[in-house]
Amino acid sequence: MDERDLTHRLQQRLRFSRRIQPAHAAVLIAITDESDPKVLLTRRSAYLSNHAGEVSFPGGKRDPQDTSNIVVALREAYEETALNPFDVQLIGDLPMQKARNGMLVKPIVGLIPPKVQLIPQPTEIDRIFFASLRHLLEAKPTPYEVRFAQQSLYFPSMRVENEVVWGLTARMLISLFQYGLDYKKDWPFLLNSPAFKRSKFFQD
């Protein structure tokens, strides 16, 4: 798939759902409109009570005054990264996702200018960075260890820009590939198999 075709294909395939379901939260999957498109990602502050230090899309919970999932995504993206809503060309949404805490989260997809100026909100965001859409498409799932009930669970993850993308954010990217690019990426729920030894995890 040619890089130049990626944003064109997204625009062709993505639409907004006719069945509107208010979500508990929404995120903005912002992709630069250029020949080598890149996805806007953030690393959450290490001091947050939820998902501290994790990579995520700009987004957050619905406020009482928010009139739609789109408004939630654009407002949160502005608050977290100073992304001007008027710089976002909305192209569609993706199926609802359920977070670990049971919240329903709606991904909204839009294109943004390549040279857009962004500023991290210091109490919420430690870092703003961009990951090549092509690299994310081609990245093989890498085991990411999570301790749960005194056991190690290995979830699939992507390594990009010295960051680990896993969990809900990774699942949304898989959904973007499937619905926006007609590409079904192999992404198991867990990688707990004898093939994934801890020593192998650190090889490269």
pLDDT mean by block of 10 residues, the chain; 204 residues: 80 93 96 96 82 88 95 97 98 94 95 95 93 95 85 90 94 97 91 52 44
Main-chain phi, psi angles of 12, to 5 degrees: -75, -40
pLDDT at residue 43, rounded to an integer = 93
pTM: 0.90
C-alpha torsion sign, points 33, 93, 181, 158 = positive
The candidate with the shortest Cα–Cα distance to 137, out of 202, 80, 190, 182, is 182
pLDDT at residue 85, rounded to an integer = 97
Helix (H, G, I), strand (E, B) or coil at 112: strand
Architecture in CATH for domain 3-201: Alpha-Beta Complex (3.90)
pLDDT at residue 84, rounded to an integer = 98
| Amino acid (one-letter) located at 188 | P
Gap between the Cα atoms of 202 and 204, Å rounded:
7
Chain centroid to CA 138: how far?
16
Gap between the Cα atoms of 121 and 103, Å rounded:
23
| Amino acid (one-letter) located at 110 | G
pLDDT at residue 200, rounded to an integer = 45
Structure token digits, residue 169 = 């954010």
